[in-house]
A and B are shown apart, each in its own frame.
Chain A
Amino acid sequence: MPGLVLPPVRQAFRAIAQTVVPEAATMGESEWMALEGLVEQLLSQRPALVHRQLGILIHAIEYLPLLTTGRRFSGLDAARRARFLGRLASAPLLLLRRGVWGLRTLVFLGYYARPGTAAAIGYRADRRGWEARR
């Protein structure tokens, strides 16, 4: 699904996604497209205001580390990214906390709703229930 929201912030979004789900670092381009497609699909049902807010938040996460480290978020190593995002997730300002919560929720949606991921983590629910386990 062609995206509208993520393309301008793709590099930063992928860096954030790899911080939220470290296994995402090993994904190929087609898997990224699947993840981002699911996120864009959800965002397409949300108002334009939400799209703008998300874009601003991702930009802020990308550029705020410049002030303290001299590097953008996507240029930090994994440990520093995790520390930075963790601080925002526990920030005194509710706006920041809920922003990070929403962003991580989008990443979880994109990552865990992809075909095959459920099986990869051992989730095996089947409509046949007990019969499928015999």
Chain B
Amino acid sequence: MSERTYDIVIVGSGAGGGTVAQALSDLCRDGVRILVLEKGPKLADEEFTGQEIEMAAALYEQGGGFLTADGTMTLAFGRAYGGSTVVYTGTSLVVPERVIAGWNVPGLTHSDLAARAQKYKAQNNVHLLEPALLNDNNRLFVEGCAASGLHAEQFPLNLRGCRGSSLCNLGCPNAAKLGTHRVQLPAAERNGVEVVTRADVRRIGEDRALTVLVSPKQPGDKGLPSAWSAGEHTVRARMVVLAGSAIGSPALLLRSGFGARLPRLGHGFTCHPAHILVGEHERPITNDVGHPKSFFVDRAVEDGYVLETCMYFPFTTAKNLTGFGAPHSALMRAFPRLQMILVLACDKAVPQNRVTVDAGGNPVVHYTFTAETIEAMVRATRAAARIFFGAGALRVHAPSADPPLIERRDAARVDELVSASHFLPGRVSVSAAHLMGGCGMGRTARDSVTDTWGRVHGVPWLYVADASLFPDSLEINPYLTVMAVADRVAEGVRRDARTLLAAPEARTA
């Protein structure tokens, strides 16, 4: 077991950790030692093959199959150099003003976050995809929205040199998506930040010592080996920033014993539960080529949901369609004719939905679908069905219908056929990738885990800088807001560092 000392240790390298690493990296010039610990591996460019199972195994926690405690929802989150920014689609939206107002966190303003978000939009080359690169799957969504009276908006995307592989969620094979693995982390490393992969932080002590378990690279694994030897390491830090996701950060604090002083730890978990819907057209469309997620419909205020274009891979699609047998197979064999829409509910933080840890310290996510969330998913499903039919689909697969296939002749009966009574957890497939909350910002330890600068209440050297800070649902794709909040946390860390790193014991070892 080795022991090492750093001034600032950042746990996690995704939208939060990567942002903080870059934002603080100029401190390295003054001799400040900064370390990023990432649980996942760093892949070489040629290892991004676009093959569904091998990439999911390499880049997602539990290969993308992490289930909630009762097994009724799959949570997808990245575990790699760059975290979930390696596997998202690059959608870059600025948080709406109403959401920040609704959070009601004193001192946290929309104008501050919007200004920070603009900085990262520029840094990550965020722009609208030119019309010539849009595929039929996206064009049909826009047509269907127009036919059904819904307003489709184009996603700003953080791409450079997109070739339209459609494989964003398996890690771009063309290095076109500008996640933290392409922009912020390399910049931080150039400035002197050290990044160690395959390094799982198991515990943080009150003495600021981190217990880190480094995994060896197994035969057949993708990615570079860790820079550190396999086994347990102790890392002593002056300041610690947690950015291990809305599951990883609260779980780490809970298994480290911080739960007793932070009663809100793990609470406030939200995730935008989602269904994948497909519509079958008469003729083949371009769906598995081109950027998969170019448009969305925001009905969060009016109806509590968001619709997005999407296109997934054979196994993911099969898993997310309800049912099995001949009707399921027929739909899968219609793959070249499938249009796909992701429907997301804007769920609200409720007491029963939270992160805990099991006896081994591993995260457990408790999630119950509230009546409001189910109704939002049903409204979203009905709207998506109308979009499909408005775009000319022959039939639509809707999870909250029984049977799930709705034929064109029944298009006028969508409201009747899609119903909350058919939303049977465990039968319908629900997944989520926008994981938020668990270390919410607020005033005191009675109502939150951190202050508005991400500083953990009562622990002045410990910060959180990821989506776990969100006190409630964001109602849009979260990564740009995670970066904005992390940038704010980094500013606070920099300010506090003048005091915390100037203390005599800071320069020992």
Contacts and interface: CB of A to CB of B under 8 A. Distances in A.
- Of B289, B318, B319, the most chain A CB neighbours within 10 A belong to B318
A85 B336 contact: no
Nearest to A18: B325
A33 interface: no
Main secondary structure of the interface of B (DSSP, over half): loop
Interface string A109-125: 10111000110011111
Of B72, B290, B325, most buried by chain A (CB within 10 Å of CB) is B325
Given A94-B425, A98-B70, A127-B49, A22 B329 contact: yes
B191 interface: no
Interface in B282-313: 284, 286, 288-290, 313
Most B-side CB within 10 Å, residue of A23, A97, A129, A132: A129
A42 B113 CA distance: 41
B31 interface: no
B323 interface: yes
| Main SS class of interface, A | helix
Contacts of B336: 122-124
Nearest to B321: A108
B429 interface: yes
Count chain B CB atoms within 10 A of each CB in A42, A85, A122 and give the residue with the most. Answer: A122
Contacts of A117: 314
B70 A42 contact: no
Contacts of B425: 94, 97
Interface in B161-202: 162-167, 173-174
A133 B289 contact: yes
Interface string B474-491: 000000000000000000
B63 interface: yes
Contact of A121 (B289, B323, B335, B426): B335
A123 B289 CA distance: 10
A127 B173 CA distance: 6
Contacts, number: 119
B290 A129 contact: yes
Contacts of A85: 324-325
A101 B50 contact: no
Given A38-B53, A82-B325, A130-B163, A45 B70 contact: no
A21 interface: yes
Contacts of A108: 315, 318-319
A105 B63 contact: no
A19 interface: yes
Contacts of A107: 324
A102 B49 contact: no
A114 B478 CA distance: 34
A43 B420 CA distance: 33
A106 B425 CA distance: 18
A25 to B, nearest CB: 11
A105 B424 CA distance: 17
B332 interface: yes
A122 B335 contact: yes
A19 B325 contact: yes
A104 interface: yes
16 contacts: A19-B324, A42-B65, A82-B325, A82-B326, A89-B324, A90-B424, A97-B427, A112-B332, A113-B314, A121-B335, A122-B335, A123-B335, A125-B313, A127-B163, A130-B164, A133-B289
The 5 closest A-B pairs by CB, nearest first: A97-B426, A129-B164, A129-B163, A127-B173, A122-B336
Given A127-B165, A133-B289, 18 more contacts: A21-B328, A21-B329, A94-B72, A94-B426, A101-B71, A102-B71, A105-B319, A113-B52, A122-B284, A122-B336, A123-B288, A125-B167, A126-B289, A127-B167, A129-B163, A129-B165, A129-B174, A130-B289
